[in-house]
Amino acid sequence: MIQAERLKICATCTNRSFHRDLGTVCNLTSQVPSFLHTCPDYTRDHYLIQSKQVKEHEMLERKQGLWKDLGNASLGLVLLILGSLTLRGSLIKKGGDLISKTMK
């Protein structure tokens, strides 16, 4: 197991601590993690995991909301353009009708 994998495990342990020179260390031994496969003192930090899941869920909802807002804005822009073209076409037709009436 490489150190990055150990640190990933330690990141969700209640026994984790931080040392300014060493980085993440075990709060019980004050040493960097050195276990081979599993840490015998690992205690899952349920609060941290739950709060990470809540943050991830909120971020996903924000992303979905942004896409929904973008879709609504795009639809609004399309409708605005179509309305403008329809009004312009109507005005051109009326203008043409007026010209043809005055020429008669």
59 and 102 housed in the same domain? yes
Q: Is the pTM of this model over 0.75?
A: no
Write a three-state SS string for the chain.
CCHHHHHHHHCCECCEEEECCCEEEECCCCCCCCCCCCCCCCCECHHHHHHHHHHHHHHHHHHHHHHHHHHHHHHHHHHHHHHHHHHHHHHHHHHHHHHHHHHC
Is 29 among the domain residues?
yes
Pairwise CA distance, residues 24 & 11, whole Å = 8
Q: Are residues 34 and 79 in the same domain?
A: no
Query: For residue 61, is it within any domain?
Result: yes
In this structure, are 103 and 76 located in the same domain?
Answer: yes
Query: How confident is the model at residue 104, as a pLDDT?
Result: 54
- Does residue 104 lie within any of the structural domains? yes
Is residue 49 one of the residues assigned to a domain? Answer: no
Do 75 and 99 fall into the same domain?
yes
Query: Which structural domain range is residue 31 located in?
Result: 1-44
Q: Are residues 28 and 63 in the same domain?
A: no
In a domain, 83, yes or no: yes
pLDDT of residue 52: 82
The number of distinct structural domains making up the chain is 2
Residues 75 and 94 in one domain: yes
Low-confidence ranges of the chain (pLDDT < 50): 98
